[in-house]
Amino acid sequence: MWFLALWALGIISGIVHLYILGFPGALSEISRVLLLHQFVVTFGLVGIIGFIVNVAQADKTAKMLGWPGGPFQFKYGFSQVGLGIMGIMAIWFHGNFWIGVLVSMYIYGLSGLWSHTYVMIKNGKADADSVSNIIMDIIYQTFITVLSVIAGGIWIAG
């Protein structure tokens, strides 16, 4: 559930940013700032933490998850840090780049949905951790989608 803390941190940092801006009246601008903080803070930290736990602490992480460790963890850790860097780069790159960040976040969310569903199927039962993570993934994906639509101008090709 550490993702929930990162999600909240992204919201809090976005609210602080909005406070500094004097809380713009346009809902689109508020959504754009909150979405930017989801990219930079939430997704950026997901990438950094994912790198640390899958590369620097590979054996410990594999043991904790009950999965066999191996070189795939290094590949996964490096892909996570790449996604986190994409989120941070959203500070400087807008427009179509934000679509790329959103799609990356969607794919990352789908990987969570798949892995938690797989665990429940493998174990033959629903456990509270997997169910709550699935619900959180769905709610988060909905949250960033709503922000992106309200922000406007993101889902326009060209």
As for how many domains the chain has, the answer is 1
Q: Is residue 158 part of a domain?
A: no
Q: What is the pLDDT, as a whole number, of residue 49? A: 92
Q: What is the pLDDT, as a whole number, of residue 156? A: 83
Q: Is residue 31 part of a domain?
A: yes
Q: Is residue 95 part of a domain?
A: yes
Q: What is the pLDDT, as a whole number, of residue 15? A: 98
pTM: predicted TM-score of the whole model, two decimal places:
0.88
Q: What is the pLDDT, as a whole number, of residue 150? A: 96
Q: Is residue 90 part of a domain?
A: yes
Q: Is residue 157 part of a domain?
A: no
Per-residue pLDDT of the chain (158 residues; tens, 9 = 90+): 688 899 999 999 999 999 999 999 899 999 999 999 999 999 999 999 989 988 888 778 778 877 777 777 888 889 999 999 999 999 999 888 999 999 999 998 998 899 889 888 988 998 888 888 888 889 999 999 999 999 998 988 76
Q: Is residue 69 part of a domain?
A: yes
Q: Is residue 20 part of a domain?
A: yes
Q: Is residue 156 part of a domain?
A: no
Domain residues for 46? 2-151
For the chain, the 3-state helix, strand and coil shares in percent, each to the nearest 5, are 80, 0, 20
On whether the CB atoms of residues 90 and 14 are closer than 8 A, the answer is no
SS (H, E, C) 50-64: HHHHHHHCHHHHHHH
